[in-house]
């Protein structure tokens, strides 16, 4: 029976909050034709199937479809491989090679902004406006509202929504953080969701990185 690890990715400094993630370290135990149904049943914003732990080959599914790259699944899987198997320097989702590094208790991954979903960004006047917004403007389906908390310090308040894959508001969104860091062209600390924390920065040549803290909440058998 496949074993499922349930993590929270992009926790705060007290290891609270973060975005839940399901990871099957032995992904080949879940037939490819069942993976989408499994992701939908679990209901996490993403579920990862590791096809080759040593090579870092992974597949990422939302409840509705497969993604070529996503941030919080990549950060969480890189951390889990280092904890349960062996550290990896590179993950290989379908979109491309994702470099991994660990620094100060945080796990970071590097990717190109275009590898993830097509996030649309809407800058609002202040953090209170971000807090009070009911949803994305203009009926947009996939996007982020954000504002500077302290522009000099590089702190940001954001909320991200993806209605096209039955997620709605996402607690912590690594691919969007990569896009935003690339767009503002500077390191940023993002406060997202109920209390998640993400660090992101451009790293040159069209790449940016995102990272944060990860915790393991549960390991359980999953009946197919």
Question: Residue 190's beta-bridge partner residues?
Answer: 156, 198
Question: Residue 160's beta-bridge partner residues?
Answer: 144, 170
Which one from 32, 33, 41, 46 is the annotated catalytic residue? 46
Which token pair is 208?
A: 């940016």
CB of 47 within 8 A of CB of 67?
A: no
Residue 189 a catalytic site member: no
In three-state secondary structure terms, 204 is strand
In the chain, the DSSP E strands lie at 3-11, 19-24, 47-52, 57-61, 66-67, 90-91, 98-103, 106-111, 120-123, 142-150, 155-162, 168-170, 188-192, 196-204, 207-221
CB of 196 within 8 A of CB of 163?
A: no
Which token pair is 155?
A: 């702190």
Catalytic residues: 46
């Amino acid at each position: 029976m496949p074993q499922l690890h349930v993590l929270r990715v992009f926790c705060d400094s007290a290891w609270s909050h973060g975005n839940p993630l399901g990871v099957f370290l032995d992904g080949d135990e879940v037939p490819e034709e069942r993976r989408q149904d499994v992701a939908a049943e679990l209901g996490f914003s993403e579920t990862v199937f590791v096809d080759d732990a040593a090579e870092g080959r992974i597949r990422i599914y939302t409840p509705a479809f497969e993604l070529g790259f996503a941030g919080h699944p990549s950060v969480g899987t890189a951390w889990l491989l280092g904890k349960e198997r062996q550290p990896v320097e590179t993950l290989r989702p379908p979109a491309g090679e994702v470099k991994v590094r660990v620094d100060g208790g945080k796990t970071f991954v590097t990717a190109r902004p275009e590898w993830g979903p097509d996030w649309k960004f809407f800058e609002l006047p202040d953090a209170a406006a971000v807090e009070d917004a009911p949803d994305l403007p203009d009926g947009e389906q996939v996007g982020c509202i954000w504002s500077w908390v302290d522009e000099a310090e590089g702190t940001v308040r954001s909320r991200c929504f993806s209605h096209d894959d039955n997620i709605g508001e996402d607690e912590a969104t690594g691919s969007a953080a990569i896009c935003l860091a690339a767009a503002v062209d500077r390191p940023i600390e993002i406060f997202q969701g109920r209390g998640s924390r993400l660090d992101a920065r451009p790293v040159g040549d069209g790449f940016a990185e995102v990272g944060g803290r990860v915790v393991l909440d549960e390991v359980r058998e999953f009946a197919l």
